[in-house]
């Protein structure tokens, strides 16, 4: 009897010890199962803006030829572009190559025809090249060089990829429907995911060098209507774009077009036909101005693996994280005569 009683007491002690242990485990969870702080707070950075974004960016960039004739202004979707190139197309008319990856608008346009140096730039940024029409010899170049492209001429006003708007007249009324681009690209057999190298950006807190630049003027001709201007907003720490004295805005929202970087590069231009089309050298490098945070720095530019980037004494100079507009100007008359910095 005593032996049975002793065994019963022993069982009760074991049960009480186990219960006590379970309560401790419930009140003090095992920290080894918690995610590491670095994983929890990891931030994804957009490769073409240097800005933090939600989720990993793996979508391939989309580049669009955007009309800049006065009949096409204000445009749609320019404020969403990570990078915008502005280059002369013919005569004193400039055209944009807008590159999108981190922020895809629903609509972009008006869309215009292709040029060789624009699709070369698109290829350098591994972007799908979207245009509406092209001269026969340019279309042949695109095919011969294996450019991944979508031509609005084959989708004119189909309501899926391109839509002709009634409030403007052709050829200034063709608008890209961005949501359909990746589906069409896949149908064409193009890759729609990529892992592109990031642009160079300054580190957080790094001091920006240079002289004061309250505004920047770029004259693509002697006509007042062709004068491009960027004005610095000290509150936003960004530049607002103007052309011909008119502020650039989004068509639907009337929000101003802003940029964090203005990169002006000088290179050779050559007229190649009776229509005034040009060949533009985007590979050799040359003189450049980088404007950021209200300051301008005299540098050089180079084409590094397809990217147009600033350099000084052979060393890469970083952009400020944010949007970038790259203005390409001819060596004749050159930046000394066509660019004015006001402090």
What pLDDT is stored for residue 43 in this prediction? Answer: 81
Query: Is 90 a member of any domain?
Result: yes
Band of pLDDT at residue 34, cut at 50, 70 and 90: very low
pLDDT tens, position by position, 60-92: 999 999 999 999 999 999 999 999 999 999 889
Query: Is 41 a member of any domain?
Result: no
Residues spanned by the domain of 82: 55-342
- For β-strands 149-151 and 269-271, DSSP reports them as unpaired
pLDDT tens, position by position, 173-228: 999 999 999 999 999 999 999 999 999 999 988 999 999 999 999 999 999 999 99
In this predicted structure, the answer to whether residue 5 has a pLDDT above a threshold of 70 is no
Q: Which long-range contacts (CB under 8 A, 24 or more apart) does 148-157 make?
A: 148/185, 148/188, 148/190, 148/191, 149/114, 149/119, 150/181, 150/184, 150/185, 150/188, 151/114, 152/111, 152/176, 155/184, 156/132
Query: Is 301 a member of any domain?
Result: yes
Q: What is the CATH number of the domain that holds 251?
A: 3.50.90.10
Band of pLDDT at residue 24, cut at 50, 70 and 90: very low
φ, ψ for residue 313 (rounded to 5)? 50, 40
What pLDDT is stored for residue 19 in this prediction? Answer: 42
Query: Is 25 a member of any domain?
Result: no
Query: Is 93 a member of any domain?
Result: yes
Could you give the number of structural domains in the chain?
1
**pTM for this model (two decimals):** 0.87
In this predicted structure, the answer to whether residue 172 has a pLDDT above a threshold of 90 is yes
What pLDDT is stored for residue 90 in this prediction? Answer: 86
Query: Is 311 a member of any domain?
Result: yes
Query: Is 282 a member of any domain?
Result: yes
In this predicted structure, the answer to whether residue 28 has a pLDDT above a threshold of 60 is no
Query: Is 4 a member of any domain?
Result: no
- Torsion, Cα 165 170 172 177, to 10 degrees, reads 40
Beta-carbon neighbour count of residue 12 at 10 Å? 10
């Amino acid at each position: 009897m005593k032996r049975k009683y002793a065994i019963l007491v022993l069982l009760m002690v074991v049960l009480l010890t186990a219960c006590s242990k379970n309560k401790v485990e419930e009140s003090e969870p095992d920290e080894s199962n918690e995610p590491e702080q670095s994983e929890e707070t990891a931030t994804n950075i957009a490769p073409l803006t240097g800005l933090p974004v939600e989720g990993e960016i793996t979508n391939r960039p989309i580049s669009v030829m955007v009309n800049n004739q006065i009949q096409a202004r204000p445009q749609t979707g320019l404020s969403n572009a990570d990078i915008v190139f502005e280059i002369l197309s013919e005569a004193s008319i400039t055209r944009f190559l807008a590159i999108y990856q981190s922020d895809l608008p629903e609509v972009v346009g008006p869309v215009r025809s292709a040029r060789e140096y624009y699709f070369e730039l698109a290829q350098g940024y591994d972007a799908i090249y979207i245009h509406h029409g092209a001269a026969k010899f340019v279309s042949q170049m695109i095919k011969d060089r294996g450019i991944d492209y979508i031509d609005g001429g084959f989708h004119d006003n189909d309501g899926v990829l391109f839509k002709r708007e009634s409030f403007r007249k052709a050829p200034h009324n063709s608008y890209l429907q961005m949501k359909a681009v990746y589906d069409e690209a896949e149908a064409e057999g193009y890759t729609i995911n990529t892992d592109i190298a990031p642009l160079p950006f300054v580190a957080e807190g790094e001091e920006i060098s240079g002289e004061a630049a309250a505004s920047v003027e770029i004259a693509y001709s002697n006509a007042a209507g062709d004068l491009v201007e960027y004005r610095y907003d000290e509150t936003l720490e960004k530049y607002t774009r103007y052309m011909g004295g008119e502020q650039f805005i989004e068509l639907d929202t009337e929000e101003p077009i802003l940029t964090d970087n203005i990169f002006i590069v000088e290179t050779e231009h050559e007229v190649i036909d009776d229509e005034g089309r040009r060949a533009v050298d985007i590979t050799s490098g040359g003189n450049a101005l980088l404007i950021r945070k209200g300051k301008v720095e005299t540098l050089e530019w180079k084409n590094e693996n397809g990217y147009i980037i600033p350099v000084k004494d052979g060393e890469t100079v970083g952009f400020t994280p944010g949007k970038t507009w790259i203005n390409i100007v001819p060596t004749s008359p050159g930046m000394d005569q066509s660019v004015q910095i006001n402090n």
